[in-house]
């Protein structure tokens, strides 16, 4: 029998970080702590860390007209599903700042059950969802 996941008060995570690559470390640290509080398995925490870091990297790299607003990283746990949303407030274009790359979205799709990209006039959101299991077994 599996222990109930998410019986803690910390069923949500809210971060606001500057659009700088070094902010990724803070996101990973807070994400791991939050998922640990929820009782998530280590492999789930690793997968989310990788996917959220990639979504954050996209939010830093791709906006052509970034604003001074911080990037929002929000997490919620409900109905045995962790949902993470990374939102920037710039507008994305088709060109890349660097030539290499292009593996981020395929990787996120392999790690998550769902990946949604919502481009808008005032920014872009990347939402990642995955059903979770507990790391504890009775």
Give the pLDDT confidence of 85-118 residue by residue, as tens digits. 999 987 666 555 555 557 889 999 999 999 999 9
Q: How confident is the model at residue 134 (pLDDT cuts 50, 70, 90)?
A: low
Q: How sure is the predictor about 53, in pLDDT bands with cuts at 50, 70 and 90?
A: very high
Q: Which of 2-16, 43-57, 79-93, 96-110 has the highest mean pLDDT?
A: 43-57
Q: What is the pLDDT of residue 97?
A: 53
Length of the chain equals 138
Task: Categorise residue 87: left if φ over 0, alpha if ψ from -120 to 50, beta otherwise.
Answer: beta
Ordered domains of the chain (ranges, CATH): 12-131 (3.30.565.10)
- State residue 1's pLDDT score: 26
Closest CA relative to residue 74, chosen from 91, 60, 95, 88 = 88
């Amino acid at each position: 029998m599996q222990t109930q996941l998410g019986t803690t008060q910390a069923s949500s995570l809210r971060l606001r970080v500057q659009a700088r690559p070094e902010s990724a470390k803070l996101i990973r640290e807070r994400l791991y702590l939050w998922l640990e509080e929820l009782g998530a398995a280590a492999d789930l925490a690793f997968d989310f860390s990788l996917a959220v870091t990639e979504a954050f990297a996209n939010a830093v790299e791709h906006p052509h007209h970034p604003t001074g607003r911080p990037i929002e990283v929000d997490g919620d746990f409900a109905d045995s599903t962790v949902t993470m949303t990374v939102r920037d407030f710039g507008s994305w274009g088709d060109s890349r700042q660097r030539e290499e790359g292009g593996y981020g979205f395929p990787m996120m799709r392999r790690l998550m059950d769902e990946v949604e990209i919502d481009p808008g006039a005032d920014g872009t959101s990347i939402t990642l969802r995955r059903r979770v299991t507990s790391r504890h077994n009775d």
